[in-house]
Amino acid sequence: MGLQWGDEGKGKAIDFLASDYEVVIRYQGGHNAGHTIYFKGKKIVLHLLPSGIFSPETVSVIGNGVVINPVELLKEMKAVENSGIKLDNLILSSMAPLILPMHQKLDMIYENSRYIKIGTTKRGIGPAYEDLTGRRSLFVKDLFDRDIFLRKVKPLNEYYNRIVEVYGGEKIDMYSYVDSYIEAGADLKKYTKDTVYLLNSLFNKGKKILFEGAQGSLLDINFGTFPYVTSSNPTVGGIFTGSGLSHKALDKIIGVTKAYTTRVGGGPFPSELTDSTGEYLRKKGNEFGATTGRPRRVGWLDLVALKYAVMINGVDSLFLTKLDVLDDLDEIKLITSYKDISGESKEFISYLEYIESVKGIGNSFPGWKERTDQVVKYTDLPVNSKRYIKFIEDYVGIPVEFISNGVKRDQTIRRSI
């Protein structure tokens, strides 16, 4: 699970962990996600496919909480298959809500007309989830019967065209996309199942299940920096609503965090660095959006925000990524409290007017000025990097169990905790 604003390195973390599990499930978000994995030396970015697909024995499930653009999903599947990866163990929920072309159009219209620009990925994610709570959604299963699809999509298309008209946009002809959706449905059908019963039966058989979060806790619709958030629950509740498995299926939560912080799109960012150190970290960490290519905003690790994310998710241990990006810095800072005109606080209050007004303050640490990307054992890490990690652990109250020190799967240090 991501504990920041997304892009924490969840793809790498899941790929590292996946071989220990028999099932990997994506449970929320859509193709706004970009999970980067280096497979046999090649960079592959996954948007909808679970990061378990690189472990051939693992069953990879796209759960009912994920919003699906079937045409984009098929494109991604073909690209992955062309890289030599087999998708025989992929399963798609028949009850995943669809992203339709009007959702993407509306995403753009809303974004352009908004006083506050959220900086969405323009993939139609927000409007697709709006249709779910508005009780208008179509589901993957609707793609398998043209009559049912047409019966449901016609009033929806009319509904959306009325909105598009108000904004002065061009109406969408439903027949411009119906065929491509039905064809995509025919191709996806063999992967599709009722995943709620399937997952519960796998769980009851004692299979080891790994849940793959998308986006991050601070982008959560309920707990994030609203309105600069995504439209789903990347926090722990999303696991249940997006899979149909109950709390009994969870015995451990691993939270992924970078050794610093990044954010794509608008919104508050109390530890942001807009100086040359920020520029340096963006370059060294290759901080450009995996989905949109946008430069990511960069800042110090914000322990106030991290502790909040650990608290609301009940995180058991941390997977700390990109430690090596900090290797050459003379000085590194950790944000330990927020300051505004009313004083200092150690609480992350997600109310926009508050979180926008605070400045992160904290402790400076001397850098370690040594390469860490070749280190295999925790004990061999530079002393100052271990002090940095210890400070994080003491502040948030849980151990750092994994440290990622490079893009490759084997550049991961696992500690016994």
Q: Which residues bind ligand IMP (CB under 6 A)?
A: 5-7, 32-34, 118-121, 123, 125-126, 214-215, 219, 228, 230-231, 264-265
- The distance of closest approach from Cβ of residue 118 to ligand IMP in the complex, given in angstroms and rounded to an integer, is 5
- The distance of closest approach from Cβ of residue 264 to ligand IMP in the complex, given in angstroms and rounded to an integer, is 4
Shorter beta-carbon distance to ligand IMP: residue 137 or 215:
215
- The distance of closest approach from Cβ of residue 318 to ligand IMP in the complex, given in angstroms and rounded to an integer, is 19
Shorter beta-carbon distance to ligand IMP: residue 65 or 362:
65
- The distance of closest approach from Cβ of residue 363 to ligand IMP in the complex, given in angstroms and rounded to an integer, is 27
The C-alpha atoms of residue 77 and residue 93 are separated, in whole angstroms, by 15
Work out the number of other CB atoms within 10 angstroms of the CB of residue 252: 10
127-136 — which CB contacts under 8 Å span 24+ positions?
A: 127/102, 127/103, 128/30, 128/67, 128/97, 128/98, 128/99, 128/100, 128/103, 128/231, 129/67, 129/97, 129/231, 129/232, 130/231, 131/97, 131/103, 131/156, 132/67, 132/97
C-beta separation of 230 from 130 below 8 A? no
C-beta separation of 281 from 325 below 8 A? yes
- The distance of closest approach from Cβ of residue 325 to ligand IMP in the complex, given in angstroms and rounded to an integer, is 17
The conformation of residue 96, written as its DSSP 8-state character, comes to: P
The C-alpha atoms of residue 195 and residue 52 are separated, in whole angstroms, by 16
- The distance of closest approach from Cβ of residue 62 to ligand IMP in the complex, given in angstroms and rounded to an integer, is 15
The C-alpha atoms of residue 104 and residue 68 are separated, in whole angstroms, by 12
C-beta separation of 255 from 319 below 8 A? yes
Strand locations in 13-147, DSSP E? 23-26, 35-39, 42-46, 59-62, 90-93
Which one is catalytic: 7, 131, 302, 324? 7
- The distance of closest approach from Cβ of residue 230 to ligand IMP in the complex, given in angstroms and rounded to an integer, is 3
Which one is catalytic: 15, 31, 35, 324? 35
Which phi and psi (to 5°) does residue 240 adopt? -75, -45
The C-alpha atoms of residue 85 and residue 55 are separated, in whole angstroms, by 9
- The distance of closest approach from Cβ of residue 269 to ligand IMP in the complex, given in angstroms and rounded to an integer, is 11
Shorter beta-carbon distance to ligand IMP: residue 144 or 226:
226
Shorter beta-carbon distance to ligand IMP: residue 103 or 141:
103
Q: Which residue has the tokens 């989830």?
A: 129
Shorter beta-carbon distance to ligand IMP: residue 69 or 120:
120
C-beta separation of 331 from 367 below 8 A? yes
Shorter beta-carbon distance to ligand IMP: residue 105 or 123:
123
Shorter beta-carbon distance to ligand IMP: residue 99 or 253:
99
Work out the number of other CB atoms within 10 angstroms of the CB of residue 338: 25
Residue 7 among the catalytic residues = yes
The C-alpha atoms of residue 205 and residue 203 are separated, in whole angstroms, by 5
Torsion of CA 224, 310, 337, 326, to 10 degrees: -100
Shorter beta-carbon distance to ligand IMP: residue 22 or 107:
107
Greatest C-alpha distance within the chain = 66
Q: Which sequence positions are flagged as catalytic?
A: 7, 35
